[in-house]
Structure 1
Amino acid sequence: MRAVALAALSAVARVPGFLIPVLVAATYGAGPHTDAYFVAYGAALLAAGTLAQSVEVAIVPFAARAILTRGAAARGFFDRSAGALTATSALLWLAVVPVVTLATTAGLRGDVLRYAASFTPLVLLWCGSAVYAGGHVSQSRIATATGSTLWRGAGGLAALAVLPAGTGLWAVGLGLGLGELCRVLWLRRRMWTLTPLGGWGGEGARVADGPNSSLARATAAVMFGSSMGTAAPVLEKLMAVSLAAGAASHLEYAYRLLAIPAVLFDGALAPMLLARWSQAVAATGRPPAAPELWRAVGKGLGLAGAIGLTTALLAPGLVHVLLLHGRFRPEDAATVSGVLQGLSIGFVATMATLLLERFYIAAARTGTIATYSSLRAAVRVLVALVLLRRLGILAFVIGYAVAEWGYLAALTARARPALSATPAPAAPVPGSPETA
Structure 2
Amino acid sequence: MNLLRALATVSGFTLASRILGFVRDLLIAAVFGAGPATDAFFVAFRLPNLLRRLFAEGAFSQAFVPVLGHTRERHGARATQTLIDRIFTLLFTSVSAVTLLGILAAAVLISVSAPGFLAQPETFALAVSLTRITFPYILCMTLVAFSSAILNTWGRFAVPAVTPVALNISFIAFTALVLAGPPLFSVPVKALAWAVLVGGLAQVLIHAVALRRIGIWPRWDWAPRDEGVRRVLRLMAPAVLGVSVAQLSLLINTVFASLLPSGSVSWLYYADRLMEFPAGLLGAALGTILLPSLSRAHARASQADYRALLDWGLRLTVLLTLPAAAGMALLAEPLVSTLFQRGAFGVPDVAATSRALLAYAIGLTPLIAVKILAPGFYAQQNVRTPVQIAVISLVATQAMNVVFVFVLQLAHAGLALSISLAAWLNAALLLRGLWQRNTYRPLPGWGKFLFRVMSATIVLGAIAWIGAQMAGDWPHLPSLERALWLSVLLAACGLAYFGTLYALGMRLAEFRRQGGA
Normalising by the residue count of structure 2, what TM-score does the alignment of the two structures yield?
Answer: 0.73
- 1:415 maps to 2:463: no
Q: Secondary structure at the match of 2:25?
A: helix
1:58 corresponds to which residue?
63
Q: Does 116-125 or 100-109 show the bigger shift?
A: 100-109
1:381 corresponds to which residue?
398
Q: Does 91-100 or 347-356 show the bigger shift?
A: 91-100
Deviation, structure 1 residue 397: 2.9
Instruction: Find the aligned partners of 2:368 and 2:252 in 1 and give their Cα distance.
Output: 22
Structure 1 counterpart of 2:88, one-letter code? A
Deviation, structure 1 residue 90: 4.1
Structure 2 counterpart of 1:251, one-letter code? L
1:114 corresponds to which residue?
129
2:163 corresponds to which residue?
148
Q: 1:171 aligns with which of 187, 191, 205?
A: 191
Q: 2:88 aligns with which of 67, 77, 82?
A: 82
Instruction: Find the aligned partners of 1:383 and 1:33 in 2 and give their Cα distance.
Output: 29
Q: Secondary structure at the match of 1:30?
A: coil
Structure 1 counterpart of 2:417, one-letter code? I
Instruction: Find the aligned partners of 1:322 and 1:27 in 2 and give their Cα distance.
Output: 14
Q: 1:309 aligns with which of 326, 343, 346?
A: 326
Deviation, structure 1 residue 92: 4.2
Structure 2 counterpart of 1:415, one-letter code? L
Q: 1:191 aligns with which of 197, 211, 215?
A: 211
Structure 2 counterpart of 1:407, one-letter code? N
Q: Secondary structure at the match of 1:212?
A: helix
C-alpha RMSD over aligned residues: 2.7
- 1:344 maps to 2:361: yes
Q: 1:396 aligns with which of 411, 415, 425?
A: 415
**Structure 1 residues 89 and 412, CA, compared in 2 at 3 Å: closer, same or farther?**
same
Aligned pairs for 1:343-362 within 5 A: 343-362=360-379
1:157-186 residue CA offsets vs partner (Å, 9 max, x unmatched): 322233557522223222222222232232
Deviation, structure 1 residue 52: 1.0
1:243 corresponds to which residue?
260
Deviation, structure 1 residue 406: 0.6
- 1:131 maps to 2:150: no
- Aligned identity (percent) is 22
Contact 1:301 1:351 in 2 (8 A): no
Instruction: Find the aligned partners of 2:148 and 2:353 in 1 and give their Cα distance.
Output: 33
Structure 1 counterpart of 2:69, one-letter code? A
1:276-310 residue CA offsets vs partner (Å, 9 max, x unmatched): 11222234476844454335324423432122112
**Structure 1 residues 18 and 127, CA, compared in 2 at 3 Å: closer, same or farther?**
farther
2:221 corresponds to which residue?
none
1:368-398 residue CA offsets vs partner (Å, 9 max, x unmatched): 2222112212211221122213221221133
Q: Secondary structure at the match of 2:241?
A: helix
- 1:296 maps to 2:302: no
**Structure 1 residues 420 and 280, CA, compared in 2 at 3 Å: closer, same or farther?**
closer
1:321-346 residue CA offsets vs partner (Å, 9 max, x unmatched): 21011100011011111211121111
**Structure 1 residues 287 and 238, CA, compared in 2 at 3 Å: closer, same or farther?**
farther
Give the total of aligned pairs: 412
Instruction: Find the aligned partners of 2:322 and 2:248 in 1 and give their Cα distance.
Output: 26
Q: Secondary structure at the match of 2:278?
A: helix
Please, which runs of 5 or more residues in structure 1 have no aligned partner?
A: 198-207, 422-436
Please, which runs of 5 or more residues in structure 2 have no aligned partner?
A: 218-224, 441-517
Instruction: Find the aligned partners of 1:282 and 1:152 in 2 and give their Cα distance.
Output: 36
1:430 corresponds to which residue?
none
Contact 2:54 2:240 in 1 (8 A): yes
Answer with 1 or 2: which has the greater Rg: 2
Instruction: Find the aligned partners of 2:308 and 2:152 in 1 and give their Cα distance.
Output: 24
Deviation, structure 1 residue 136: 0.9
Deviation, structure 1 residue 99: 4.2
Instruction: Find the aligned partners of 1:342 and 1:72 in 2 and give their Cα distance.
Output: 50
Structure 1 counterpart of 2:140, one-letter code? L
1:258 corresponds to which residue?
275
Q: Does 96-105 or 301-310 show the bigger shift?
A: 96-105
**Structure 1 residues 295 and 10, CA, compared in 2 at 3 Å: closer, same or farther?**
closer
